[in-house]
Amino acid sequence: MNSALFSKFLALSLILTVGAVGCKKIPRAPTPIPGPTRTTGPGPGPAPSSGPIVGPGGTVPVDVDPRSIRPGNDLTGGTKLGGREELDNFLVDRETFKQQTVYFEFDRSTVQPADKGKVEAVAAYLKSNPTHKLLIEGHCDERGTPEYNRSLGERRALSVREYLIALGIAPERASTVSFGEDKPAVLSSDETAWTKNRRGEFVLLKPKT
């Protein structure tokens, strides 16, 4: 009896401790902006230049945390998509942003704090290269049904896009495509593979000249 009580107490303390430690890790969000959906993006980026690609830790000033414009847990912003990019009109570059691939939690589409620097690096590159466009690919692990995952993958790509828009990228420069669970990065059915498969990839579209 006593020992049972004690273990309950122990478990409770453990939960409280872990909870408190866990809380510390979550950065305090900036002042929430109540969220009507945007219909137009901010103006064009800075003047053309051939600036270097900013690495994953790039420092672009962030004034809006896209997480903060969402009520509750995981809802996307809803900025209307621009026209369909005809891929034939572009040099499709999958290499430039290879290190910027972002990863998602299970069944979630929020850009994780640790990955924000990657999106910011992409935004910085786009601001320096105003003729370039971006295709954001959303992918899922296999633990959802196929069409559920196709929608979830799109929501992930859109969530990354919303963050880019918040960083000042014109909405029409970023388009999305969801592959659901159809293009896994790692072909395996374990947590390691799933972690790598829940991702958003950046494909740079350079106009053919």
Partner 1 sequence: MNFLYLRTLTTLIAVLLAVSSAKVVSAEAKIEIDKDVDASKLIPISLSGFTGEAQVVLKFDLEVAGFTTVSAETAQFNITGSNNGQLEGRVTDRINKATLLSVRYTDANLRTQAHAFADEVVQKLTGKPGIARTKIAFKGERSNKSEIYVADYDGANAIAVTSDGAIVAAPCWTPGRRMLYYTSYKSGFPDIYSHDLASRERKVVAKHPGLNTSAAVSPDGKRVAMILSKDGNPEVYICDATGGNEKRLTNTRADESSPCWSPDGSTICVVSSKDGIPSLYLVSANGGEMRRLRTAGVPRATEPEWSPDGKWIIFTAMWREFAICKVPAQGGTAEVLTTGEDPSWAPNSRTVIFSRRVKGRRVLSLLDVQTKRVKDVTESSGSYSQPSWAK
Q: Which long-range contacts (CB under 8 A, 24 or more apart) does 205-208 make?
A: 205/85, 205/87, 205/90, 205/91, 205/92, 205/93, 205/132, 205/133, 205/134, 205/135, 206/90, 206/91, 206/93, 206/131, 206/132, 207/89, 207/90, 207/91, 207/131, 207/132, 207/133, 208/89, 208/90, 208/91
Query: Shortest approach of partner 1 to residue 9 CB, angstroms?
Result: 31
Q: Which is nearer to partner 1, 16 or 92 (CB)?
A: 92
Q: Which is nearer to partner 1, 77 or 200 (CB)?
A: 77
Q: Which ranges constitute the DSSP H helices of the chain?
A: 2-25, 116-128, 146-166, 191-197
Query: Shortest approach of partner 1 to residue 112 CB, angstroms?
Result: 18
Query: Shortest approach of partner 1 to residue 35 CB, angstroms?
Result: 8
Query: Shortest approach of partner 1 to residue 162 CB, angstroms?
Result: 8
With H, G, I as helix, E, B as strand and everything else as coil, classify residue 137. Answer: strand
Q: What are the residues binding partner 1 (CB under 8 A)?
A: 37, 70-84, 87, 109, 142-148, 150-152, 154-155, 158, 175-180, 182-183, 187, 189
Q: Which is nearer to partner 1, 117 or 201 (CB)?
A: 201
Query: Shortest approach of partner 1 to residue 134 CB, angstroms?
Result: 13
- Looking up tokens 């620097």 gives 117
Q: Which is nearer to partner 1, 98 or 183 (CB)?
A: 183
Q: Which is nearer to partner 1, 104 or 124 (CB)?
A: 104
